[in-house]
């Protein structure tokens, strides 16, 4: 068997292969492998003659060009994954994947894991809030992180055309392709789950589609494009959380170009595609007033889609005695909202997370805010009974079983 090895520090791996009887082993640096695929070189012929290529599963090296080159040459790829995010990336591409600590002889004989059949459609969960800063992005990040802890494939998309901030909050470069690139490919009919994996940036266990880096680029997130992108996201992950802007106005009556893009088109398209909406209100008189005025417009936009209300930044100062009771009574009286969830105001943890560019729950997992998010996910967003091995393992270890509920 002819084997090409393109992984960092390949020496011990190659020695083990040769000791096991594989004498025809060639070594390529991973970046050279990418150059071969893009430009072609003398190494292309050697690659075409190989039976197996063991390639590092990094997004920088396991590229579309490399996969296409190996497909044309009928050379099987074995992705060598150093962490769970690389394993997930390789699995989406449909190639065989092994962990970095697996025996070299087992690696070259690995077969692609069968893809699950009859996989249910993923859910689109939109995080919306009234004007101001009720904490939409913070909650979207925390909800995505907490949902991913149950072993589900989770993505986070920033569709805010007024003030996108997911990339900044997570320390991800906003010059990357992100959601805008996914929308462009969707408009040409070229968007696939594998392409979404290439475009997305990993943030722990969550795949992130960053937003536009300049608000003047909002026409790139057209309504039709966003809808087609979210439809593909349903095939890509189990749950995609979409952070959207506050504005819900439809301005067709005041413009002459009825077919032109709309600034709020991305928000409206996401809400119309949603299986579930998380509506965020800030726990102060101004935030609650803005929320109650905008809530009827939200209900008119989403129709019968379930809406779960979360009151964020809860503290006693702005509302006096019994803030929870006051908020519940106001919601029930003025909006007919019979149930809501509360997330406490934890400024030190929020500041520390923003400074470190990470979710609050990563450095403060037992704090009041992550605990409130965990409770909300378990009661309102938790998926049906776990069916994947990772979910079942987590249930056995933690004893936390997701409640059985009907699909949204």
Whole-model pTM?
Answer: 0.72
Contacts of 80 (CB under 8 A, 6+ apart): 7, 54, 55, 56, 57, 98, 100, 107
Average pLDDT over residues 243-254: 78
Lowest-pLDDT range of 110-119, 230-239, 323-332, 346-355:
110-119
Q: What is the predicted pLDDT for the residue at 40? A: 56
As its CATH architecture, domain 123-398 has 3-Layer(aba) Sandwich (3.40)
If one compares 327 and 258, the residue with the highest pLDDT of the two is: 327
Q: What is the predicted pLDDT for the residue at 394? A: 47
- Specify the domain boundaries for CATH 3.40.50.300 within the chain: 123-398
Nearest to 196 by CA among 238, 158, 229, 242: 229
Average pLDDT over residues 228-256: 85
Nearest to 264 by CA among 162, 179, 165, 127: 162
Rounded (5°) CA angle 285-287-291: 115
Q: What is the predicted pLDDT for the residue at 233? A: 95
Q: What is the predicted pLDDT for the residue at 23? A: 66
Instruction: Work out the pLDDT band at 3, boundaries 50, 70, 90.
Output: confident
What contacts 24+ positions apart, CB below 8 Å, involve 181-185?
Answer: 182/209, 182/229, 182/232, 183/220, 183/221, 183/222, 183/225, 183/226, 183/228, 183/229, 184/220, 184/225
H or E element, residue 397: helix 389-398
Q: What is the predicted pLDDT for the residue at 355? A: 93
Q: What is the predicted pLDDT for the residue at 78? A: 86
Q: What is the predicted pLDDT for the residue at 396? A: 43
- Specify the domain boundaries for CATH 3.40.50.2300 within the chain: 3-108
* Beta-bridge mates of residue 382: none
Distance CA 148, CA 237 (A): 11
Instruction: Work out the pLDDT band at 270, boundaries 50, 70, 90.
Output: very high
Q: Above 50 in pLDDT, residue 408?
A: no
Q: Above 70 in pLDDT, residue 158?
A: yes
Quote the percentage of the chain above a pLDDT of 90: 48
Instruction: Work out the pLDDT band at 404, boundaries 50, 70, 90.
Output: very low
Average pLDDT, the chain: 83
Q: Above 70 in pLDDT, residue 114?
A: no
Instruction: Work out the pLDDT band at 244, boundaries 50, 70, 90.
Output: very high
Contacts of 312 (CB under 8 A, 6+ apart): 129, 134, 135, 138, 139, 280, 281, 282, 283, 343, 345
Average pLDDT over residues 204-214: 92
Q: What is the predicted pLDDT for the residue at 118? A: 45
Distance CA 190, CA 195 (A): 8
Distance CA 83, CA 313 (A): 35
Distance CA 80, CA 374 (A): 33
If one compares 62 and 276, the residue with the highest pLDDT of the two is: 276
Lowest-pLDDT range of 150-154, 222-226, 389-393:
389-393
Average pLDDT over residues 228-253: 89
Lowest-pLDDT range of 113-117, 155-159, 277-281:
113-117
pLDDT in tens, 358-386: 999 887 778 899 999 999 999 998 755 44
H or E element, residue 140: helix 136-148
Burial class (CB in 10 A: 0-12, 13-18, 19+), 183: buried
3-108 has CATH 3.90.550.10 classification? no
Three-state DSSP at 235 gives helix
The answer to whether the CB of 250 falls within 8 A of the CB of 271 is no
């Amino acid at each position: 068997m002819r084997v090409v090895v393109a992984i960092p520090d390949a020496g011990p791996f190659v020695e083990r292969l040769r000791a096991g009887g594989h004498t025809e082993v060639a070594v390529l640096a991973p970046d050279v492998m990418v150059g071969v695929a893009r430009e072609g070189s003398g190494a292309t012929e050697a690659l075409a003659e190989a039976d197996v290529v063991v390639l590092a599963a990094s997004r920088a090296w396991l590229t579309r060009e490399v996969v296409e080159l190996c497909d044309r040459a009928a050379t099987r790829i074995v992705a060598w994954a150093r962490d769970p995010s690389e394993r997930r990336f390789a699995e989406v591409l449909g190639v065989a994947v092994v962990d970095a600590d697996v025996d070299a002889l087992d690696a070259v004989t690995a077969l692609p894991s069968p893809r699950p059949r009859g996989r249910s459609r993923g859910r689109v969960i939109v995080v919306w809030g009234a004007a101001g800063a009720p904490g939409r992005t913070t909650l979207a990040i925390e909800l995505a992180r907490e949902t991913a802890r149950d072993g589900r494939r989770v993505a986070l998309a920033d569709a805010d055309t007024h003030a996108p901030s997911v990339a900044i909050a997570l320390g991800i470069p906003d010059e990357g392709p992100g959601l805008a690139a996914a929308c462009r490919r969707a408009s040409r009919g070229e968007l696939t789950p594998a392409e979404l994996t290439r475009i997305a940036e990993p943030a722990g266990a969550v795949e992130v589609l960053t937003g536009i880096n300049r608000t003047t680029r909002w026409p790139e997130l057209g309504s039709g494009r966003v809808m087609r992108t979210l439809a593909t996201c349903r095939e890509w992950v189990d749950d995609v959380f979409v952070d959207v802007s506050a504005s819900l106005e439809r301005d067709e009556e005041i413009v002459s170009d009825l077919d032109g893009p709309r600034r709020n088109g991305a928000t409206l398209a996401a809400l119309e595609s949603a299986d579930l909406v998380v509506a965020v209100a800030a726990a102060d008189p101004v935030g609650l007033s803005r929320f109650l005025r905008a809530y009827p417009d939200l209900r008119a936009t989403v129709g019968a889609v379930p809406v779960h209300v979360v009151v964020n930044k809860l503290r006693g100062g702005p509302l006096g005695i019994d803030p929870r009771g006051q908020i519940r009574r106001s919601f029930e009286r003025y909006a007919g909202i019979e149930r809501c969830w509360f997330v406490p105001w934890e400024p030190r943890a929020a500041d520390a997370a923003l400074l470190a560019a990470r979710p609050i729950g990563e450095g403060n997992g037992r704090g009041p805010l992550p605990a409130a998010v965990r409770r909300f996910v378990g009661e309102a967003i938790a998926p049906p009974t776990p069916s994947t091995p990772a979910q079942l393992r987590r249930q056995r270890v933690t004893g936390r079983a997701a409640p059985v509920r009907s699909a949204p």
